[in-house]
Each structure stands twice: as structure tokens, then as C-alpha cells.
Amino acid sequence: MTDHSNPSMRSPLGRAKGLGSSRSGVSHWWMQRLTAMGMVPLVLYCLIGFLCFADASEAAARAWIAQPFNSVALILLLGTGFYHAALGLQVVIEDYISSESRRILMLAFMKMLMTAFAAFSIYSVLLITLTNGA
């Protein structure tokens, strides 16, 4: 006989494992919020720096990027930004791709693409920094 006094929407497997909505995506949600909060000062700092060099020469902009604090801030912004974008795209893919095999392929492709973009961008900043802005 079933107990109708405490109806549950969870499956028997979900009840057995103790998994619910509060345990499945909280870490992903927190990482998105933390990366967003971490990017706020980085975006502001880099945006102000880029606006200061909007009419400057390429050599002046490279010299600004080559300064240690600026290059570290830019690398942190790029790494955090691409990671934040990958987290957001993962949610979109998981929500809107219904086929399991297609979802896995799309997630793998997206993560490889984001990693490649991040690596290329960070390499470009390091190249400018290590060649002394030349």
C-alpha cells in the first residue's frame, strides 16, 4: 500500500540516492556566480586601460600589455572569461539538446573549442609580454 500522506515527485532511485534539486547543480551555479563576480573588476580595469589607448599607437598599446600587472590582469580575464562562457554554454546545451549522444558530442566540442580559444588568447598576451611589447 502506498503512503498518500507524503506524496513525492522524486523517483524511487532519486529517493534512494538522496539526490534532489539542491544537490545536482549547486556547484555549477556557484562557479558561474564566482567567475562573474571575479570578472567585474578585471573587465573594468582592462576596459579603462583599453579606452586610454583607443587613439594611441600599436606600440603604446603593446607596451601597456607588456607591463606585468596588466598582462596578468588580462590573462586572468581571458582565462576566467572563457571558463565562464563554457559554463554558460554547458547549461544551454544540457537544456536544449535532447539526444544524449548529440549532447555529449556538443559538450566535448564546445569545451575543446573554448580551451583552444583560451590557450590562443593567453599565448598572444604572453607573446606580447615576453617580447617586451615589441
Is 56 contained in some domain? yes
Rounded Cα–Cα distance for residues 71 and 74 (Å) = 5
Query: Is 64's pLDDT higher than 60?
Result: yes
Q: Count of domains in the chain?
A: 1
- CATH number of the domain to which 93 belongs: 1.20.1300.10
pLDDT for 2 beyond 60: no
Q: What is the pLDDT of residues 98-134, one digit of tens each?
A: 999 999 999 999 999 999 999 999 999 999 999 975 5
**Residues spanned by the domain of 94:** 27-130
Q: Which pLDDT score is estimated for 26?
A: 86
- Give 4 or 64, the one with higher predicted confidence: 64
